[in-house]
Amino acid sequence: MTPRRVLVTGGNRGIGEAIARRLKEDGHTVVVTSRSGDPVDGIDAVACEITDSDSVDAAFVEAKERLGGDVEVLVANAGITKDTLLMRMTDDEFASVVDTNLHGTFRCVRRAATPMVKARFGRVVLISSVVGLYGSPGQANYAASKAGLVGLARSMTRELGARGITANVVAPGFIETDMTAELPDKTKAEYQAAIPARRYGGAAEVAAAVSFLASDDAAYISGAVIPVDGGLGMGH
Ligand code: NDP
């Protein structure tokens, strides 16, 4: 295992924190971002607002200092939901979710790409969602933003694949975090009944897939969408 310099966005809680902890356990040097920049128990953190390009740039500058070199592995995990039915969805509810989940991820991968091209090495993992390709009532904004990440990773793969850079998508299903804690009990029960594994996933199960994609063994995998969803999306 080659130790790498890793940045995980939104790594202060939930799935991002589990990814950061797993990659640290794997032997990598890890920095996370959060909007506050407050330290996370045992993990170095920098402030980053992914809807602001200047903040993203400043976070990468700070991360480089903490990591002792440029980011080699970027896990773009930060994301939000603003669920409501399509006909009631405001322009702001649509735009703000796309601005965070898709445009925000673009801001991070664009900033990460130049040093990766210079180093002729890079691993980019984008955290999408099963609903990006499966669809979900009440989540037109979220599903559209998460589907967009697949096009982003595949375009990166075609553009930068010859420079030793891979870009893959991990598509979690329903994972127990603050984000899913907000769902009404009825919705949770309906989703659980639809999942072939009949249970929600744990953040550590998503982290295991990211750990593999960041490892030396995954050097020839790029443009892939890896589901971690208990079979819900059936590989989509
Ligand atoms: P949480 O709501 O627990 O955490 C979200 C993270 O994103 C936080 O660290 C938050 O930072 C950060 N964040 C949100 N908006 C911004 C922003 N504008 N700028 C910078 N950071 C931001 O979410 P989860 O851990 O559940 O989800 C993590 C990722 O996994 C998301 O992309 C989500 O869409 C995806 N996902 C989650 C699933 C689930 O079932 N939980 C299923 C499928 C995908 P802060 O603490 O500062 O607010």
Token pair in block for residue 167 = 């870009």
Confidence of residue 236 (pLDDT cuts 50, 70, 90): low
pLDDT for res 187: 85
Residue 229 is assigned to a structural domain of this protein: no
Q: What is the CATH number of the domain that holds 95?
A: 3.40.50.720
| Residue 14 near ligand 1, beta carbon < 6 Å | yes
The answer to which of 65-69, 71-75, 153-157, 185-189 has the lowest mean pLDDT is 185-189
Q: Of the listed 134, 142, 191, 200, which one is catalytic?
A: 142
d(CA 105, CA 125): 10
Atom of ligand 1 nearest to the CA of 79: 32
d(CA 46, CA 63): 7
Q: Total domain count for the chain? A: 1
Which class for 103: exposed (0-12), middle (13-18), buried (19 or more C-beta within 10 A)?
middle
Q: How does pLDDT run across 164-214, given as a tens digit for each residue?
A: 999 999 999 999 998 888 888 998 899 899 999 999 999 999 999 999 999
Residue 235 is assigned to a structural domain of this protein: no
The dihedral over CA atoms of 178, 181, 183, 189, expressed in degrees to the nearest 10, equals 140
Within 8 A by CB and 6+ apart from 167, the residues are 109, 124, 125, 126, 152, 153, 154, 156, 157, 160, 222, 223
User: Residue 155 above 70 pLDDT?
Assistant: yes
Average pLDDT, the chain: 97
Share of the chain above pLDDT 90, in %: 92
d(CA 101, CA 109): 12
Residue 231 is assigned to a structural domain of this protein: no
Atom of ligand 1 nearest to the CA of 36: 47
The dihedral over CA atoms of 86, 89, 95, 97, expressed in degrees to the nearest 10, equals -80
Mean pLDDT of 61-65: 98
User: Residue 235 above 80 pLDDT?
Assistant: no
HSE at residue 2, side-chain half, CA atoms within 13 A, is 14
Mean pLDDT of 126-141: 96
Residue 232 is assigned to a structural domain of this protein: no
pLDDT for res 208: 98
Quick one: CA dihedral 112, 42, 79, 211, positive or negative? Answer: positive
| Residue 175 near ligand 1, beta carbon < 6 Å | yes
Domain that holds residue 51: 5-223
What is the residue with the minimal CA distance to atom 47 of ligand 1?
35
Residue 234 is assigned to a structural domain of this protein: no
Mean pLDDT of 157-163: 98
Residue 168 is assigned to a structural domain of this protein: yes
Mean pLDDT of 74-80: 98
| Residue 78 near ligand 1, beta carbon < 6 Å | yes
What is the residue with the minimal CA distance to atom 20 of ligand 1?
49
Residue 94 is assigned to a structural domain of this protein: yes
pLDDT for res 183: 84
Residue 174 is assigned to a structural domain of this protein: yes
